A and B are shown apart, each in its own frame.
Chain A
């Protein structure tokens, strides 16, 4: 990093590079990519939950003027390798969940496609289905490993002994609901098959198929890697672009069935682009969700608050079609010290669509349980909840014994308490009332780990006086366009105006996706290495066309440490004694995020996560109708599935304590995209307890649970 503050770009407040395009509405998202004479797709989706398709009668649809093709399992192109059960669609008569894509109509216009789809008659042979989540499900199983590749269960010491030794214990069950990501831009795909002429490439003459995809994707490189074995194509035959993404939050992390559906439909009409944007209702069916959890959490503590035991036993939903074993227990293994500790993860298999990553998978549901339980313990001990957390801050990682690369949780808690006016909080519930409103304050810690980062590269090329930096990264609104330009400018020691960034295309160097809050430190590292390689090779006066590549570098020494970001959330709420309605009047987050590349975009990442945390705390729940014959989300639009609106969010502020951490790589930055949501519902729930004396252990905190 450039250290001269007069010339450095990193650390400076910069307006978004993509901002002018976005405020004028002219940044082209996937569905808006220029396309000649496109055809439009509307899907056929299953209206049973489990069984087999007996017959499909598409004659009325085919007879409609403007209909180009009806795609079903009967005429779908064959896929090669079944490397992903979610993408291996239309290869059989099987139906795995309600709303599954079982075909599509392609027509000249959206209106005709939608109307024609309603004319297709499907007959089924139904089979006994099961969509009702219950923790004691007879077929629940141990997944062995959870998503981050670590064991599903852990055990240290003897928790029964630890609980027996405790002066005070907490033993409660916490639950989190199904949630849906609801990015404002619905998943959108344009797919077009063409022929590529091989004029003697490798001595081969003739033609081969070429597939071009415009997608709303968190990472085109890994999307292509996932599609190739199914399609039986070489990397050179598939091109994916995704320069702008209208929000994702995990739902566009890996390709879902709608990508394959559009690709298969387009295969039937080579040379013609097929476009498909999901409806809001369809987003609730087949592009992933946050799974539902049932979590038993136990804490034991000595009279001074020192923890003697922590246990966390999780049962969570799973699709029979494809497992997603969320790392709900992860934060419990690392946040607080205790000699006796145990965690377990069990999956409940159901006939529902696959779950996927949703902002802070694992940490979000797990920390709701842990940080609510800690508050309950503080109440029982008569101890300030901040003091309880400080007393149990571990000196080294409780599970591995490794030292932390950096650990500033205590600073976040203390600084947050000072900024928030924590000293004004009354420990006794119902101590503050203003008219019909009971007021209270709550706190929760936040943590988010350094995630694995598969290979990632970047390139620097000198053309026409500019440094063109290429990496197949994605900007979902995170600020990647801007912060990667800042990092490149400093690494090349040039002004930002001399850097031209290229992202979101498979022709660019392979990059890991925008996920796990890795973007800035992972892509940033690759960009820095490419810049250093470029300068080493060509010096300060490169010639036209000079180019160098680099791979993301992380120090070997990092393996000796535990790497995490930390934070603390402070909430103030008022709860109506008349209606049970909760208002979050203030929310403050204080973070330990390593180096901040751009304070403006970083602040938006933090307050964005916190706002989504308010949304999850107060509103969000997908109601699955699990009666026989159903199995779909009944509130599948914004009228039924509420997300926080402007009036829900009066005062949300983020602060940070900047300690660059070189173990996270040369940028010194930790991940900031997800930690903003971690623990927020617990902080709000703890504030509700402080206000009302009612302890809520199930999200969301809707009025019915609080009305007096």
Chain B
């Protein structure tokens, strides 16, 4: 404890990173320690992604990166250079909700709403994984394509914690969307429109 701690480099390091977020391109100079989550919230002001634990344990920060669901708190922005990031507000707007958002609303699949953007992104990504035939822990036969049922939904959504306890309503919402449409059509591809710095 007597050693004077090494404060590390006193000059700021910045890495040039390009991210497309909800269809908008950004050219950024970022601290190499910055996560995708903190970059979205603190640098770009995109608050439709939430911080719940910063350790990849709660799922609140789930976004779709190049179409796949990821925990943005575990993603260093530097390793997502060039990625297309989609958050809940990129899926749909208040005036034009995405079918998954409408289903969460209809089934009251939330209370406080803080885990909800992550739940919805995760649900969209999850249905896509299911459509691609990816098995889960509860899939009875991994050689066959997993079918959409409540057990599969519960298992695949267990990385998204909800402390208000809306799980049974979340499952109803996802079941409705999954049954109502081909899962692959649920994922709108992000379109890059403009560059801002």
Contacts and interface: CB of A to CB of B under 8 A. Distances in A.
A645 B153 CA distance: 12
Interface in A154-203: 181-186
B151 to A, nearest CB: 8
Interface residues of B, number: 69
Interface in A599-632: 600-601, 603-605, 607-612, 615
Interface string B147-158: 000110111011
| Interface class of chain B by DSSP | loop
B154 A646 contact: yes
B154 A608 contact: no
Given A111-B34, A184-B161, A186-B51, A22 B168 contact: no
B87 interface: yes
Given A15-B105, A24-B117, A185-B50, A111 B163 contact: no
B160 A646 contact: yes
Contact of B55 (A22, A245, A638): A638
B60 interface: yes
Contact of B161 (A60, A638, A650): A638
B97 A184 contact: no
Contacts of B42: 40, 109-110
A121 interface: yes
B66 interface: no
B165 A608 contact: yes
A26 B92 CA distance: 11
Given A111-B31, A185-B52, A608 B111 contact: yes
Contacts of A246: 50, 112-114
Contacts of B71: none
B167 A477 contact: no
A611 to B, nearest CB: 3
B166 interface: yes
A236 interface: no
Contact of A478 (B31, B111, B165): B111
A528 to B, nearest CB: 24
Contacts of B92: 23-24
A501 interface: no
Contacts, number: 213
Contacts of B31: 109, 111
Interface stretch (B5-13, B127-135, B186-194): B5-13
A234 interface: no
B103 to A, nearest CB: 9
Contacts of A540: none
Nearest to A280: B53
A247 B94 contact: no
B11 A65 contact: yes
A184 B170 contact: no
A487 B105 CA distance: 21
Contacts of A65: 10-12
A29 B159 CA distance: 23
19 contacts: A16-B108, A20-B101, A24-B94, A29-B50, A32-B41, A183-B163, A247-B163, A477-B164, A604-B164, A607-B165, A607-B169, A610-B165, A611-B168, A615-B165, A638-B55, A639-B57, A645-B161, A646-B155, A652-B167
Given A18-B113, A23-B113, A25-B47, 10 more contacts: A24-B97, A29-B47, A109-B42, A183-B112, A600-B108, A604-B111, A638-B58, A647-B158, A649-B168, A650-B150
Nearest 9 A/B pairs, CB to CB: A611-B165, A25-B48, A246-B114, A22-B113, A477-B112, A477-B111, A25-B117, A638-B57, A25-B88
Interface of B: 1, 4-5, 7-8, 10-12, 31, 33-34, 38, 41-42, 47-55, 57-58, 60, 87-89, 91-94, 97, 101-102, 104-106, 108, 110-117, 120, 150-151, 153-155, 157-171
Interface of A: 15-16, 18-29, 32, 40, 60-61, 63-66, 109-111, 115, 118-119, 121, 123, 181-186, 244-249, 277, 279-280, 476-479, 600-601, 603-605, 607-612, 615, 637-639, 643-653
